[in-house]
Amino acid sequence: MIVRRYIVRDMPEAVMSIRKDLGKDAVILSTKKVRVKKWLGLRWQKRLEVTAAVGGDIPLHHDVVRNGAKAPAAPARKESRDTAPDTRPEATDVLEEPSFGAALAGAFGAYQATAAAMQPASALQDRDKAPVVEDVLRELASLKAMLQTQVGSRDGVPVASECETFLRAQGVSEEVARQWAERATANDPEVPMSTALSRVQQVILDELGDLATPMPISQDSRVVAFVGPTGVGKTTSIAKIAALYVLAGKRRVGLLTTDTFRIAAVEQLKTYADILGVPMLVVDDAQELPLRLAELSGCDLILVDTAGRNFRKPETVANTQSLLGSLAPDETILVASLTAKPDDLDALVTTCNPFGIDKFLFTKLDETSTLGSIPALLTKYKRPLSYVTVGQNVPDDIDILSVEQILSRWLGGGASE
């Protein structure tokens, strides 16, 4: 293995030098900010120290990015991160510049390690606030229902009730759970539970129709706003999506943040923007919006981060509504975490619906096995899913999944007839 160190201005410069020097299979091992003396040692300058290596058996782990980068408008082909076959040979065909993806991942990794050290266990703190007992009970109920699908329905309990119990445990409202369970078993009340659940899947897919197909950001959209409560993963998701487009090399991405509520929020997005080599501007006041948008006139995709606030407060709702009114985005994506309670998620969507929500983006799929809110919200509010995120790693942990793919995981692989 050859290991080299580079002192550069930014990541794009590092990637160019590394590619030229070590070839396209090189990977970045670490990055850190350093200060170097200029010529004659008169002035200090900020630089980036990047260590890269080539040779040995370096795995390519960009299957998720590859899916997004190749065809942002099409459903991802990968069924599951855990069960996906080794896609290494195919990845080289599909992603034109795999080492650039690896380079970005390295840079993001270094940033995230530093951020984690500075803000210990922020995700953990979020979780600590969650009603743990309720989560455990829901998990248990869902496990119980899943077990029943394996062994068949209990004696004497109609399969429709079993289906309903399963759906309820997964966070589907009572009324909808009953409807879906009844429709799935209507013609065949004695059907085995596993078959009933694959029929539930079909009932949901029929109801969703075109909405079952994932709808990432449209080719025609230039300004895309991301709204949602605090801490759900808006900024992280924006960084992941920006990385997908930078990797694809098809659109000039710019970032805009209106989240000046927390100083760290601006820093967070700025760091991602620097790593990606894309412009990022801050908007303090809605009146500045036209000016800032004009400054980003060279960008054909502007991702707008908004302040994560408590949507149960009327002033938050009013502020967001007025911001979106001035911004007039081509798309507004509601970002919601699946770790929230189903009722709270539903209340959030009801509150945000008047903003003109176009799509959902669900985060933290990796932290829960309760996925019923996805089909429940999609069918109720008739909005499609854009992306789902499955972890904290930028840019890896984002996926474009069809509802069918999600249901297959949720309902235990879609039990066969």
| Contacts with Mg ion, residue ranges (CB under 5 A) | 234-235, 265
10 Å CB burial of residue 282 (0-12, 13-18, 19+) is middle
**Contact by Cβ (8 Å): 303, 226:** yes
Q: How far is the CB of 111 from Mg ion (least distance, A)?
A: 15
Of 162 and 397, CB closest to Mg ion: 397
Q: No. of H helices and E strands in the chain?
A: 16, 11
User: If binding is defined by CB under 6 A, does position 235 make contact with ligand GDP?
Assistant: yes
Q: Which is nearer to ligand GDP, 14 or 348 (CB)?
A: 348
DSSP 8-state symbol, 56: S
Contacts with 332 (C-beta within 8 Å, 6 or more apart), sequence order: 224, 225, 226, 227, 324, 355, 356, 357, 358, 359
- Binding part of the chain for ligand GDP, among 26-34, 201-209, 241-249, 364-372 by CB under 6 A, reads 364-372
Residue by residue, DSSP assigns 8-37 as ESSHHHHHHHHHHHH-TT-EEEEEEEEEEE
- Residue 266: helix, strand or coil by DSSP? helix
Among ligand GDP, Mg ion, none, partner that 170 touches (CB below 5 to 8 angstroms by kind): none
Span interacting with ligand GDP, options 66-74, 134-142, 273-281, 386-394, rule CB under 6 A? 386-394
392 binds ligand GDP (CB under 6 A): yes
Q: Give yes or no for residue 286 binding ligand GDP (CB under 6 A).
A: no
Residue 61 contacts which entry, ligand GDP, Mg ion, none (Cβ below 5-8 A, type-dependent):
none
Question: What does the alpha-carbon distance between residue 394 and residue 199 come to, in Å, rounded to a whole number?
Answer: 36
Tell me the closest approach of the beta carbon of residue 324 to Mg ion, in angstroms.
16
220 secondary structure, DSSP code: T
Per CB under 6 A, 122 contacts ligand GDP: yes
Q: What is the DSSP string of 267-319?
A: HHHHHHHHHHT--EEE-SSGGGHHHHHHHTTT-SEEEEE-----TTSHHHHHH
Is 170 or 235 the residue whose CB approaches ligand GDP more closely? 235
Whose Cβ is closer to ligand GDP: residue 106's or residue 308's?
Answer: 308
Q: Please report whether residue 64 would count as binding ligand GDP according to CB under 6 A.
A: no
Rg (CA), the chain: 23
Q: Which of 142, 185, 389, 405 binds ligand GDP (CB under 6 A)?
A: 389
DSSP string, 142-194: HHHHHHHHHH-PPTTS-HHHHHHHHHHHTT--HHHHHHHHHHHHTT-TT--HH
Residue 369, interface with ligand GDP (CB under 6 A)? no
Closer of 308 and 395 to ligand GDP (Cβ): 308
- Residue 391, interface with ligand GDP (CB under 6 A)? yes
Q: CB under 5 to 8 A by kind: which of ligand GDP, Mg ion, none does 364 bind?
A: ligand GDP
Chain centroid to CA 414: 24
Place of tokens 């799935």: 184
322 binds, among Mg ion, ligand GDP, none (CB under 5 to 8 A by kind): none
Q: Work out which of 78, 168, 199, 234 binds ligand GDP, going by CB under 6 A.
A: 234
Closer residue to ligand GDP in complex, CB, 21/267 = 267
Task: Indicate whether 68 belongs to the interface with ligand GDP (CB under 6 A).
Answer: no
Instruction: Give 180 or 272: the residue with its C-beta nearer to Mg ion.
Output: 272
- 86: DSSP letter: P
Q: Which of 232, 236, 249 is nearest to 352 (CA)?
A: 232
Residue nearest to ligand GDP (CB): 233
Nearer to ligand GDP, 75 or 228 (CB): 228
Residues numbered 137 to 196 that lie near ligand GDP (CB under 6 A) are none
Contact 335, 234 (CB under 8 A): yes
Supply the minimum distance, in Å, between the C-beta of residue 278 and ligand GDP.
Answer: 17
Query: Applying CB under 6 A, which residues contact ligand GDP?
Result: 122-123, 228, 230-236, 308, 363-364, 366-367, 389-392, 397
